[in-house]
Structure 1
Amino acid sequence: MDALELADWSDFFVATVGAAAAFAGLLIVAMSVNISVVLAAPTIPARAAATIGLFVLVIVVGAIGLMPDVAGSVLGWIVLASTVVLCVFQVNATRVVARDTHTSALQKTVKNVAGAAPLAPFLVGGALLAAGLGGGLYWIAAGMILGFVFGVIFAWVTLVEVLR
Structure 2
Amino acid sequence: MDAGLEQWTDFNVAMLGATAALAGLVIVAASVNIREIITSGTLTPRLAAGISALVLALIVSGMALVPEIDPVWFGGLIIFATAVAGAFQLNATRVIARDPATEDRARVAKSVAGFLPIAAYLAAGVLLVAGQPGGLIMAAAGALLAIVSAILISWIVLVEVLR
Question: Into which bin does the TM-score normalised by the smaller protein fall?
Answer: over 0.9
Query: Which residue of the partner structure matches residue 42 of structure 1?
Result: 41
Query: Which residue of the partner structure matches residue 64 of structure 2?
Result: 65
Query: Which residue of the partner structure matches residue 93 of structure 2?
Result: 94
What RMSD over aligned residues (CA atoms) do the two structures have, in Å? 0.9
Query: Which residue of the partner structure matches residue 82 of structure 1?
Result: 81
TM-score normalised by the chain length of structure 1: 0.96
Query: Which residue of the partner structure matches residue 112 of structure 1?
Result: 111
Deviation at 1:153, TM superposition (A): 0.9
% identity of equivalent residues? 45
User: In 2, Cα distance between the equivalents of 1:72 and 1:8?
Assistant: 13
Moved over 6 A (4+): none
> Which segments of 5 or more consecutive residues in structure 1 lack a partner in the other structure?
none
1:160 aligns with 2:148: no
Deviation at 1:5, TM superposition (A): 1.7
> Which segments of 5 or more consecutive residues in structure 2 lack a partner in the other structure?
none
Query: Which residue of the partner structure matches residue 151 of structure 1?
Result: 150
User: In 1, Cα distance between the equivalents of 2:94 and 2:58?
Assistant: 26
User: In 1, Cα distance between the equivalents of 2:110 and 2:24?
Assistant: 22
1:132 aligns with 2:131: yes
Query: Which residue of the partner structure matches residue 6 of structure 1?
Result: 5
User: In 2, Cα distance between the equivalents of 1:7 and 1:71?
Assistant: 12
User: C-alpha deviations, 1:58-113, integer Å up to 9, x for none?
Assistant: 01000010111112112111100000111111111110000111111111100111
User: In 1, Cα distance between the equivalents of 2:5 and 2:151?
Assistant: 27
User: In 2, Cα distance between the equivalents of 1:153 and 1:85?
Assistant: 20
User: In 2, Cα distance between the equivalents of 1:17 and 1:105?
Assistant: 36
1:31 aligns with 2:30: yes
User: Size of the alignment, in residue pairs?
Assistant: 163
Deviation at 1:144, TM superposition (A): 1.1
